[in-house]
Amino acid sequence: MKIDILTVLPELLESPFQHSILKRAKEKGLLEIRVHHLRQWAVNEYGQVDDYQYGGGAGMVMMPEPLANAIEALSKEAHYDEVIYMTPDGSLLDQRMSNQLSLKENILIICGHYKGIDQRIRDQFVTLEVSIGSYVLSGGELAAAVLVDTIGRLLPGVLNDETSALFDSFQDDLLAPPVYTRPADFRGAKVPEILLSGDPKKIEDWRHEQSLQRTQERRPDLLEP
């Protein structure tokens, strides 16, 4: 899978994909991430990519020309299955959306800044608008990093048996059960007896029960049909 990201702050996206699971995905050749600086397509020698908004009001708007030129230039090299715009008024990201996006071949992600991008780019080029939650970030970069992380770890061959996404919270609409490691007695707090029993069936049942209980307590909305 190939993911291109368009941003005015490429520095913000330098580190997130260079560690851990995403790093492994790239090294295995399962994921290619390219971060493009929108200023390459600026309208003038000053590197301008934003301007005042029509109708007045505080805050700049990202101009349509640089974005359109960037999208068109990048589209010559790859056919994009989705052109995604990261925006707080987009569809709320959830595991289902990440699962679906992980099946795509090429994705382009546009990070908004300032007051956002000119509506005509959203109308003419964007195929999916994504928000990562009901709060406001300074820009789309951190949201894009979150989205790419959720997608990258789902690509076949990225996770091994031990880290398998099948057991993640949300994958079956349940939160993950509590986990423990050594020591079996930490300052008097003991690991639940059943996990030391060596009985796989009992352990599986216990974990499922704990998952259900946690979900009921913390995220009852996940249990609704």
* Interface contacts to ligand 6GU, rule CB under 6 A: 86-88, 130-133, 135-137, 139-140, 143
Please, what is the minimum distance in Å from the beta carbon of residue 129 to ligand 6GU? 8
Q: CB nearer to ligand 6GU: give 12 or 174.
A: 12
Nearer to ligand 6GU, 100 or 138 (CB): 138
Q: Which is nearer to ligand 6GU, 144 or 174 (CB)?
A: 144
Shortest Å distance, C-beta 138 to ligand 6GU: 7
DSSP string, the chain: -EEEEEES-GGGGSSTTSSHHHHHHHHTTS-EEEEEEGGGG-SSTT---EEEPTT--SSEEE-HHHHHHHHHHHHTT---SEEEEEEEEEEEP-HHHHHHHTT-SEEEEEE--TT-B-HHHHHHT-SEEEE-SSS--SSSHHHHHHHHHHHHTTSTTTS-TTT-GGGSTTTTSSPPPP---S-SEETTEEPPGGGGS--HHHHHHHHHHHHHHHHHHH-GGGG--
Of 16 and 88, nearer to ligand 6GU (C-beta) is 88
CB of 179 to ligand 6GU, least distance (A): 29
Residue 107: CB minimum distance to ligand 6GU, A: 15
Q: Which is nearer to ligand 6GU, 77 or 94 (CB)?
A: 94
- At its nearest, how many Å lie between ligand 6GU and the CB of residue 106? 20
